[in-house]
Amino acid sequence: MSAGRFFVAPAVLAEPERVLLPPAIANQARNVLRLRAGDTLTLLDGTGMAYTLALTEVGRDQVQGRIAARTLVASEPRRQVSLYQGLLKAAKFEWIIQKGTEIGLSTIVPVHCARSIVGADEVSAAKRARWRTIATEAAEQSDRGRVPEVREPVKFADALAALPPDAVALLAHAGEVAHAGDVATGASLGLCGKHIAPARNRNPFGLEVVHDATVHLFIGPEGGFAPEEVALAQEHGVRLVTLGPRILRAETAALVAATLALAALGELG
């Protein structure tokens, strides 16, 4: 449900003077929001543009209007944060899609890890369609101009191999990461990936990720990453980061990491 904001296929907006709402949105407008001719609602084309639709007809069979204004959605993050999330049980994964969309993730990549309980092959087309719906509704609700892409599940090794050569990639790892005290003295970041210089006196989320590149965040499944996966990630230049001294549940870790990364990029200001 949204408060009058709906993503539509660009084709719906092809004729600005005569926009016919798709049936599901027409139904929302008429029966849930109880809009009438003369009222407005917002349509989003998924590119970051918002269109104010002035309703000209609210009928039983069709709801139509004309585009009265076109604006850029100001709340959409300018920098991209992609979450590579170890596959989790359905409800937790859906929670991450919903909350991650609200906070401002650009992409969510389900990753099949050594310790994932859910196999990549168990992710049906119906489940992926549901994930897209969750992301769309969360994007409508949270005033976004784009719907984060929820990709097809990939294997952990394939996700690493597909990282761009200069990627800023961080893997949240409870355990072997340097202590906060070491970070404070600048001693810890021997763990840095090759693409990021050690950041003295900074949290790993602090400084060097602040440039235009996408930040790629890896969060493990319920059982965490296997040691081989951590080693493989480091071989790919992925940097290990801590989320603090307490062990977080995977879904908490995903949200905390997304929040820290977006804050480091200046997107929560």
Q: Interface with ligand SAH by CB under 6 A: which residues? A: 172-175, 219-220, 223-225, 242-244, 246-248, 250, 253
CB of 261 to ligand SAH, least distance (A): 13
CA 11 to centroid of chain Cα atoms: 25
Tokens of 124: 């049906």
Nearest CB to ligand SAH, comparing residues 76 and 251: 251
Q: CB of 94 within 8 A of CB of 138? A: no
Over its C-alpha atoms, the chain yields an Rg (Å, rounded) of: 21
Residue 97's alpha-carbon distances to 45, 101, 104, 134, 227, in angstroms, are: 20, 6, 10, 7, 26
CB of 135 to ligand SAH, least distance (A): 21
CB of 110 to ligand SAH, least distance (A): 14
What is the C-alpha to C-alpha distance for residues 125 and 101, in angstroms, rounded to an integer? 20
Q: CB of 117 within 8 A of CB of 221? A: yes
Nearest CB to ligand SAH, comparing residues 229 and 267: 229
CB of 24 to ligand SAH, least distance (A): 36
Query: In a 3-state reduction of DSSP, which class is residue 35?
Result: coil
Nearest CB to ligand SAH, comparing residues 245 and 269: 245
Nearest CB to ligand SAH, comparing residues 165 and 190: 190
What is the C-alpha to C-alpha distance for residues 168 and 218, in angstroms, rounded to an integer? 11
Strand-pair category, 154-155 with 149-150: unpaired
Nearest CB to ligand SAH, comparing residues 73 and 226: 226
CB of 173 to ligand SAH, least distance (A): 5
